[in-house]
């Protein structure tokens, strides 16, 4: 394994009581990913900051996003892609090598440590990959993208203004936006507001059934009108 892989794994091993290597085989997605072992321990670690470590769990919306993208490879093939709120990088793993460039952004720098480790774990070259630690409400990335993806990122109203500005400022004309979410009430107004700036070209519903979860994930596909 590359030296950087060993360095990241060593750092994570020192800073987390336990991590484990999981995979997505049961979804017919053949990638592995490192993740903190116990979400409760992670929440306790973040208690003082007041920020919930949502990045430490692979949500059903991420799985639904991967499955949709792999059925629609033209959306990312040879395209500049932004993964907004990337977490541990799972949504980007299966598409990265086909993208022209892919940029993974998360507010939590520790999420990006895991994301980079997961790319190295799957032997994915990093030549066309960027990992950026940035607050959505102070987003200063001066680049436009053909595709912006976000798995379960529209859950807090305090983030909506920043997310909307990123979509307006960083999506290319006629670019594509894909947001996946489990049908939360709080997301409805945000999605309706997007229709002022983006044309909703498709809605797909993906049933997600797992040991502890039974829910329908909604995949919203928009195209820029600007």
Give the pLDDT score at 144: 96
Three-state SS for 65-78 is HHHHHHHCHHHCCC
Give the pLDDT score at 7: 82
Collapse the DSSP code of 34 into the 3-class scheme (helix H, G, I; strand E, B; otherwise coil) and give the result. Answer: strand
Give the pLDDT score at 118: 96
Structural domain boundaries in the chain: 59-224
Q: What is the band of 3 on the pLDDT scale with cuts at 50, 70, 90?
A: confident
Percent of the chain's residues with pLDDT above 70: 92
Q: What are the tens digits of pLDDT across the range 25-62?
A: 988 999 999 998 766 666 666 666 667 778 888 999 99
Fold for domain 59-224? Rossmann fold (3.40.50)
Read off the pLDDT of each residue in 67-78 and give the average, rounded to a whole number. 97
Exposed / middle / buried, residue 30 (Cβ in 10 Å: 0-12, 13-18, 19+): exposed
- 104 to 74, 107, 220: CA distances (angstroms): 20, 10, 20
Nearest to 89 by CA among 110, 107, 112, 108: 112
Which range in 6-20, 48-62, 186-200 is most confidently predicted, on average pLDDT? 186-200
Q: What is the band of 15 on the pLDDT scale with cuts at 50, 70, 90?
A: confident
Give the pLDDT score at 48: 62
Give the pLDDT score at 46: 65
- 198 to 6, 84, 149: CA distances (angstroms): 43, 17, 14
Six-digit token pair at 156? 């807090």
Q: What are the tens digits of pLDDT across the range 86-143?
A: 999 999 999 999 999 999 999 999 899 999 999 999 999 999 999 999 998 899 899 9
The pTM score is: 0.93
Helix 185-194 crosses helix 160-170 at what angle (to 10 degrees)? 30
Phi and psi for 92 in degrees, rounded to 5?
A: -90, -20
53 with 108: CB under 8 angstroms? yes
Give the pLDDT score at 39: 65
Nearest to 150 by CA among 217, 86, 55: 86
Measure the CA–CA gap between 147 and 201, rounded to whole angstroms: 14
Would you mind telling me the total number of residues written for the chain in this entry? Answer: 226
Top pLDDT among 74 and 9 is at 74
């Amino acid at each position: 394994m590359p030296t950087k892989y060993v360095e990241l794994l060593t750092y994570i091993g020192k800073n987390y009581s336990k991590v484990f290597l999981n995979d997505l085989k049961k979804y017919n997605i053949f990638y592995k990913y490192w993740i903190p072992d116990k979400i409760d321990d992670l929440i306790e670690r973040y208690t003082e900051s007041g920020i919930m470590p949502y990045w430490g769990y692979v949500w059903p919306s991420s799985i639904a996003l991967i499955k949709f993208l792999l059925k629609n490879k033209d959306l990312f093939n040879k395209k500049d892609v932004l993964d907004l709120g990337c977490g541990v990088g799972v949504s980007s793993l299966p598409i990265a090598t086909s993208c022209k460039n892919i940029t993974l952004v998360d507010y939590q720098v520790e999420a990006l440590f895991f994301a980079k480790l997961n790319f190295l774990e799957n032997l994915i070259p990093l030549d066309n990959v960027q990992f950026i630690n940035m607050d959505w409400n102070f987003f200063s990335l001066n680049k436009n993208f053909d595709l912006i993806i976000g798995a379960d990122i529209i859950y807090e109203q305090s983030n909506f203004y920043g997310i909307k500005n990123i979509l307006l400022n960083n999506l290319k004309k006629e670019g594509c936006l894909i947001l996946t979410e489990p049908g939360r009430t709080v997301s409805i107004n945000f999605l309706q507001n997007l229709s002022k700036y983006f044309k909703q070209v498709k809605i797909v519903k993906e049933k997600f059934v797992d040991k502890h979860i039974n829910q329908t994930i909604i995949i919203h596909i928009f195209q820029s009108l600007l």
